[in-house]
Amino acid sequence: MATIEDRIAESTLHLLRTGGPRAVNVEAVADHSGIAKTTIYRRHPDRRDMLATALSRVVIPPPPEFGTSAADRLRWIIEHAIDPVDHGIGLGGRAALLLTDDDPAFTELFRRILADQRAPLIAAVEAGRADGSMRADLDAATLIDAIVGSYLAEYSRTGARAEDWRQRLFTLFWPTVRAAG
């Protein structure tokens, strides 16, 4: 059974994903979760603390195992690059971040958490560069940005992510990412 903190975090993330950061406040979380406002206030002094706590619960993926092939490493990067959107702020939060940026505190918080979540992805690229299986000049941040951008474009264009999206991205990026020869 979910704890009170789990329910608060789940409601906070639900509201963030569907309505952006401005949709998250103690009253909305109380209404969605069924938890009394006083109980929420005992745990979180303000909405920023609720957002920080909920976003910090978004799991940072463990790195791929040592010896993972470059092709499988790229598949892992594609899979996990979109986690901050899919399992974190959602499209509502992303839209607020990109289009309005009307909540600078949320923007600062999310960018700090995003850096933590991207660290294993960047490390996976660096490992591929170090072992010679990925191009030495491969820019990890640009690769991750291209993957996330593709996800957002696919969703904007079709309203969903197609089942073959990961494979299409792999097919597109693999010739560019792998080391020559």
User: pLDDT 10s digit of each residue in the chain, 181 long?
Assistant: 779 999 999 999 888 888 877 888 999 999 999 999 999 999 999 888 888 888 877 767 788 888 899 999 999 999 999 887 777 766 666 666 666 656 777 777 777 777 888 899 999 999 999 999 999 999 999 999 999 889 888 888 888 888 999 999 999 999 999 998 6
Based on the fold, state whether residues 25 and 97 are members of the same structural domain: no
Query: What's the confidence (pLDDT) of residue 36?
Result: 95
Provide the pLDDT for residue 111: 77
- According to the model, what pLDDT value does residue 93 have? 66
In contact, 74 and 133? CB cutoff 8 Å: no
87 and 25 inside one domain = no
Full domain range(s) for residue 136? 70-177
pLDDT score of 67: 86
pLDDT of residue 25: 92
Please give the pLDDT value at position 170: 97
End-to-end CA distance of the chain: 53
pTM for this entry: 0.78
Are 89 and 161 in the same domain? yes
The residue written with tokens 């291209």 in the block is 146
The pair of three-digit structure tokens given for residue 21, joined into one six-digit string: 């950061």
What pLDDT sits at residue 48?
84
Query: CA separation (Å) from 159 to 27, 109, 151, 162?
Result: 30, 27, 11, 9
Contacts of 7 (CB under 8 A, 6+ apart): 33, 34, 35
Domain with residue 14: its CATH number is 1.10.10.60
Residue 61 resides in a domain: no
Domain count, the chain: 2
Whether the CB-CB separation of 97 and 89 falls below 8 Å is answered with: yes
The answer to whether residue 165 is domain-embedded is: yes
